[in-house]
Structures are given as structure tokens and as C-alpha cells.
Amino acid sequence: MEQIIKKAKDLLEKNTVQVVIGYGEGSKNRVRPVFITKPEDAEKLIYDDRCIQNLAVYILKHEVKHLGKTGITAPYFVLRSILQLSSENQIKEGELIILGVSSESNLIEFPDFKSIENYVASFNLHITVQEKELIEKIKKMSMEERFIYWTEVFSECFKCYACRSACPMCYCSRCTVDCNQPQWIPVASHALGNLEWHIMRAMHLAGRCVNCGQCAEACPIDIPMNLLTYKLTEDLNEKFGMFAGAGATAEYALSTYKPDDKENFII
């Protein structure tokens, strides 16, 4: 951790960056994001196993970009998010100073996106044993049973949109659910509107989700929506050979057409 503090302080002192996004102590032993703009405040930075929030969600925020060039504390899932944002032309190489964090909490400095690609290639997606068991259980269900399962799970949603706010890939300036002319998704929190919202979000994230799990982590009623996008990640990797967050110039499966694409999924 001292390496990250020292590096952040050095970057701010030399005016290489004007803000460093990192993790800091919050209330009740919780961690919160911090935005360090003064070298002396770099001491507030922390990193431990509580630091699970995907800080990449702040990269495109106007309030953060307005502060100047950004440095960011970046464990594995943040690194993958940065690569995915680059592949979607949302950030360019050199716009960020990336303070990579290894699984041993050591500082890793990446000279370019290629070096990040090489680093993340050595990791596999991580989900808990309970999540794996639930995915296998859902896989064994019939189509009708899966529909009933997800309808019941999503019926508890009251549309706080915490999942959207926590996701670095939900960066649209205006979401479909905020449009009322025409109104595509019902505003009311009822079974049909909830199902439409979560299916739409899953489809928008298909092939783009880096599986950081922050949507489910942010949900106040513990809806396991991350399992839906995780399964889509598996399917797209199997059928198209595409894996979100693996490359800074990777193509997005659902916006890419190739003459030799398989069409056997069309009924």
C-alpha cells in the first residue's frame, strides 16, 4: 500500500495528474471512493480485501474529467473495465495514469494498454462457489422454468437503479428507462416493467460486461443479476470467441457482422 501512496503523491506533486481516484476509509468499517487532489492527502489511500468497488465507473464522469488528468487505483476488474472502455472508444491510451494493484496488493505500473492486456490474460473470471451452484441449477431448468425463476427474482426490484449507477459500462448520458417520449420501459415497479428493465440491461451488457459483480453488490435486496450477465459472457465467448475487457481494441459481438457468422441460433 505504501507504494501506491508514494506513487500517487509523486504524481500529484509533479502535476502529472490532477486527481487520483482510489479507495479510502468510510464509516462503519466500510470503504468508499476518494478523489485525491493534494499530495498531502495521498495518505488517505488504502487497499485491502474490502476494496471491491469498480472505480472505473468514475472515469467518464464530467465532474471527474473536469478536475484534469486522472490517475486511478486499478485492481484486476478495474483494469479490464479500462480496456473495455478503450475498445468502445470512450478513453484513449495516455489519458489515464494507471496504478495497477496485484493480488498481493503491490503496485504495478503499466506503460501502455498492451501490457495491461498481457497482465489480465493470466486471470480467470472469479465467482463464488454459491454463484457457480446457482448457475448450474438455472442451467438445468427448462426454458419455462427459467422464465418463471427470473420473473420471480426480478419482481422484488423497486427500480432504484443502483445496479446501473455501479456499472462502468452503463455510461449513457440518458438511459432508455429515462426516456418517456416514447416510453420504452414502464416506470412503475411491477412484474412486467421489472423484467423488461433487467432483460434490456442484460442485453445492453452482453459481450461488454467485465463481471466485476458490482451490480449485485450494489443491489439493496441482493438480486443476483450478475449471474445473468455472467452466463451471457460464457455464451458469447463460446459462440463468438469474444471476451469483454480482454483488449483495448476488441470488437463488440453484438455490433459486429461477419459473413461467416453462425446463424444456427435463428429459429
Average pLDDT over residues 197-218: 92
Domain boundaries, the chain: 2-120, 129-255
The beta strands (E) that lie in the chain are given as: 19-25, 31-36, 70-74, 96-101, 107-109
pLDDT number for residue 40: 96
The pLDDT of residue 251 is: 78
Q: 94-125, pLDDT tens digit by residue?
A: 999 999 999 888 999 999 999 999 999 988 77
Over residues 177-188, the pLDDT tens digits come to: 887 777 777 777
Task: Tell me the C-alpha to C-alpha distance, in Å, between residue 201 and each of 57, 72, 82, 136.
Answer: 16, 27, 20, 22
Q: Which of 85, 86, 80, 84 is nearest to 100 (CA)?
A: 80
Tell me what pLDDT residue 119 has: 94
Where is pLDDT greater, at 179 or 207?
207
Task: For residue 128, give the C-alpha cell.
Answer: 463464488
Task: Quote the distance between the C-alpha of residue 99 and its chain's center.
Answer: 17
Give SS3 for 171. Answer: coil
- Among the residue ranges 48-62, 67-81, 239-253, the one predicted with the least confidence is 239-253
Rounded-to-integer distance, Cα 157 and Cα 177, Å? 14
Above 60 in pLDDT, residue 267?
Answer: no
Q: Is the pLDDT of residue 10 over 90?
A: yes
Each residue's pLDDT tens digit, 129-153: 888 899 999 999 999 999 999 999 9
Q: How many residues does the chain have?
A: 267
Indicate if the pLDDT at residue 233 is higher than 90.
no
Euclidean distance between CA atoms 244 and 179, whole angstroms: 27
Please give the pLDDT value at position 155.
Answer: 92
d(CA 120, CA 132): 22
Pairing state between β 96-101 and 70-74: parallel
Interatomic CA distance for residues 7 and 87, integer angstroms? 27
Q: What is the pLDDT of residue 6?
A: 95
Write the CB contacts of 92 (distance below 8 Å, at least 6 apart in sequence): 86
Which of the two residues, 267 and 119, has the higher pLDDT score? 119
Q: Which of 141, 159, 149 is nearest to 196 (CA)?
A: 159
Q: What is the predicted pLDDT for the residue at 265?
A: 64
Q: What is the pLDDT of residue 109?
A: 92
Regarding predicted confidence, which is higher, 193 or 17?
Answer: 17
More confident residue, 173 or 18: 18
The model's pTM is 0.90
pLDDT beyond 70 at 266: no
